Amino acid sequence: MDTRVGRRRRWTEQVLVLSLGAVLTLAGCAKPSPGPADSSASPGTSTSVAPAPVPGPTKHGGRGHHAPRVTGELTAKNGSTWTVRTPGGPVFTVIVTPKTRFGTVKHPLSADQLRVGMQVVVQGSISGVTITATQISKENAHIGYS
């Protein structure tokens, strides 16, 4: 095998493994993958990588905010069950609880002020395509609760 092709294949495998590890870590499903310097795979061995999940949930970095979040269009509100469609990704069922906060510290809202069709950010715990909301705010608002 040509040396350049071998290096490119190993690099591609490492990028895939690191990307999958990052996605799973952000979703709270796994520990981060070892970096290229820590990789225990010997050259010439193949690493099996599962397909990456559909994008949607992310984490908000910095300033101590670590809850996973989902950003998308609020498509339905039915009591304490809302629906958010992520761009190019899945539709999430949002469970609103009595502890769910609306808006931000600087721009508090009520549940009624968030209307179907608005772009929202839902922060909370994710299980599959269900998120139990701890905070729901307009997309362009800064997440202000911890």
Question: 65 and 31: one domain?
Answer: no
**pLDDT for the residue numbered 112:** 94
Whether residue 64 is contained in a domain is answered as: yes
Contact assessment for residue 57 and residue 70, using Cβ atoms and an 8 Å cutoff:
yes
**pLDDT for the residue numbered 89:** 81
The CATH number of the domain where 90 resides is what?
A: 2.40.50.140
Question: 64 and 107: one domain?
Answer: yes
Residues 111, 102: Cα–Cα separation, whole Å: 6
**pLDDT for the residue numbered 52:** 38
Beta carbons within 10 angstroms of residue 89's beta carbon: 16
Residues 123, 120: Cα–Cα separation, whole Å: 10
In order along its 146 residues, the chain shows pLDDT tens digits of 556 555 666 666 665 556 655 565 655 554 444 544 444 444 444 444 444 344 444 444 434 456 788 999 999 999 999 999 999 889 999 999 999 999 998 889 999 999 999 999 999 999 999 999 999 999 876 555 54
pLDDT digits (tens, 9 = 90+) for 107-141: 899 999 999 999 999 999 999 999 999 999 998 76
Range of the domain at 24: 1-53
Q: What are residue 10's phi and psi, to 5 degrees?
A: -65, -40
DSSP states along 73-134: EEEEEETTEEEEEPTTSPEEEEEEEEEEEEB-SSSB--GGGS-TT-EEEEEEEEETTEEEEE
Question: 71 and 127: one domain?
Answer: yes
Residues 122, 60: Cα–Cα separation, whole Å: 11
Identify residue 130 by its one-letter amino acid code: T
Residues 139, 146: Cα–Cα separation, whole Å: 17
